[in-house]
């Protein structure tokens, strides 16, 4: 959400207003405090100017670090549900409205993450791993030495071939190593999420959920792995962290323009129920399917647009009838909690005032 107002850092179990240390993401830093609603509260501060989507990379990194720093300060005193960076509400009343409408779901998440922390582990091939490979595979070493001897005159296809030979051999070894690492660390953790591999020499990037009291045991396991792999793999650990990978909350608004375009694409009126949205989409499928319009270059695009319209309107309407008028659309807030082990993905739609019939 790029709307100016209150930036939401995290959600905590607390029924009182509190102040927290840390420099917020507002223009001149900002006061960090909680907005309670019942027995839960949101930690908020002044929102940043501009959207993260248009921010310079250096500024975005600075703001993200400030966001995470606030959450980690709060974590020292409370169990936290991290909120996705860039999430804002108009004012404190809207923050409270979000909390009240999704209170039961938030309490369920607190039951899951209370007393738990996240440890992130990244593993890289070391220089020794490549040296061992070349010693064990003389044909690869020979090809590499030949290319190296030619220096800048080496044909690009030969350079690429050697790189592919090394990558293929390391890939075969990677799965066995990664499996051993995960099996070892899962012995003292409750859950795991594998994250994106960012570099060619990176073999594992994972987050582990563990009980607060098991951090030393977990760290000892990483040391054990380091010894087992004899410096062929370098390990880097970050933690303890809030459970970012297991319970991050996302709050977003619907765009009236997108909802209106989707409504028109499915031929709907000013309101609809989920059943009507599904029926309208099913009626369009035979007309728009590319197999029936093979000579029409726009068939694939129009079929995809109809599918996206159906998905968007289904999320907007939820389980009841919804209005497509601008005023009603702009009041809707979608709360999404990322899927975690043992709990379904949760979507809750919130209105600023009043409920649907």
323: left (phi over 0), alpha (psi -120 to 50) or beta: beta
Domain at 255-329: CATH code? 1.10.287.110
Residue 345 confidence class, pLDDT cut points 50, 70, 90:
very low
Rounded to whole angstroms, how far apart are CA atoms 206 and 246? 12
pLDDT digits (tens, 9 = 90+) for 282-305: 888 888 787 777 777 877 888 888
3-state secondary structure of 344: coil
The confidence score (pLDDT) of residue 29 equals 60
Q: Does position 58 have pLDDT exceeding 70, yes or no?
A: yes
Mean pLDDT of the region 305-320: 84
- Do residues 313 and 262 lie in contact, with contact meaning Cβ atoms separated by under 8 Å? yes
Q: Between these two residues, 25 and 162, which has the higher pLDDT value? A: 25
Return the H-helix or E-strand segment holding 184.
helix 156-186
| Residue 266 near residue 309, CB atoms below 8 Å | yes
Give the strand pairing for 6-12 and 40-46. antiparallel
CATH fold for the domain made of 118-246? Alpha-Beta Plaits (3.30.70)
State percent of the chain over pLDDT 90: 13
For residues 342 and 135, what is the distance between their CA atoms, to the nearest angstrom? 46
Does pLDDT of 269 surpass 70?
Answer: yes
For the stretch 2-18, pLDDT in tens is 345 888 999 999 989 99
pLDDT at 130: 72
Each residue of 291-317: b (16+ CB within 10 Å) or e? eeeeeeeebeebbebbeebbebbeebb
pTM of the model: 0.65
Give pLDDT, residue 351: 40
* pLDDT at position 340: 44
Residues in the chain: 357
Nearest to 332 by CA among 263, 248, 259: 259
> What ranges do the domains of the chain cover?
6-115, 118-246, 255-329
For residue 319, pLDDT over 70 is answered with: no
């Amino acid at each position: 959400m790029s709307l100016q107002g209150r930036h939401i850092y995290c959600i905590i179990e607390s029924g009182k207003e509190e102040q927290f240390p840390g420099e917020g993401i507002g223009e001149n830093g900002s006061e960090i405090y909680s907005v309670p609603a019942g027995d839960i509260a949101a930690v908020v501060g002044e929102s940043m100017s501009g959207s993260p989507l248009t921010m310079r990379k250096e500024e975005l990194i600075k703001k993200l670090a400030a966001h995470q720093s606030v959450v980690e300060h709060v974590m020292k005193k409370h169990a936290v549900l991290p909120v996705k960076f860039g999430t804002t509400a108009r004012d404190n009343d809207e923050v409270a409205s979000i909390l009240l409408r999704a209170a039961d779901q938030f309490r369920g998440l607190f039951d899951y993450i209370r007393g738990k922390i996240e440890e992130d582990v990244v593993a890289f091939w070391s220089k020794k791993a490549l040296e061992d490979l070349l010693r064990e595979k003389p044909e690869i070493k020979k090809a590499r030495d030949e290319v190296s001897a030619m220096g800048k005159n080496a044909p690009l296809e030969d350079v690429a071939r050697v790189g592919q030979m090394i990558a293929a051999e390391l890939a075969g070894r990677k799965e066995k190593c990664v499996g051993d690492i995960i099996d070892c660390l899962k012995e003292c953790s409750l859950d795991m999420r594998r994250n994106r591999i960012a570099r060619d020499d990176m073999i594992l990037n994972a987050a582990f959920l563990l009980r607060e009291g098991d951090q030393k045991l977990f760290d000892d396991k990483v040391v054990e792995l380091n010894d087992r792999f004899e410096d062929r793999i370098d390990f880097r650990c970050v933690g303890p962290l809030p459970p970012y990978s297991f319970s991050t909350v996302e709050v977003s608004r619907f765009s009236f323009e997108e909802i209106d375009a989707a409504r028109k694409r499915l031929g709907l009126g000013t309101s609809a129920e989920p059943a009507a949205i599904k029926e309208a989409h099913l009626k369009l499928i035979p007309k728009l399917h590319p197999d029936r319009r093979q000579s029409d270059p726009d068939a694939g695009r129009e079929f995809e647009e109809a599918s996206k319209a159906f998905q968007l309107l289904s999320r907007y309407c939820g389980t009841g009838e919804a209005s497509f008028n601008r005023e009603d659309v702009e009041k809707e807030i979608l709360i999404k909690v990322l899927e975690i082990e043992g709990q379904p993905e949760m979507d809750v739609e919130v209105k600023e005032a009043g409920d649907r019939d």
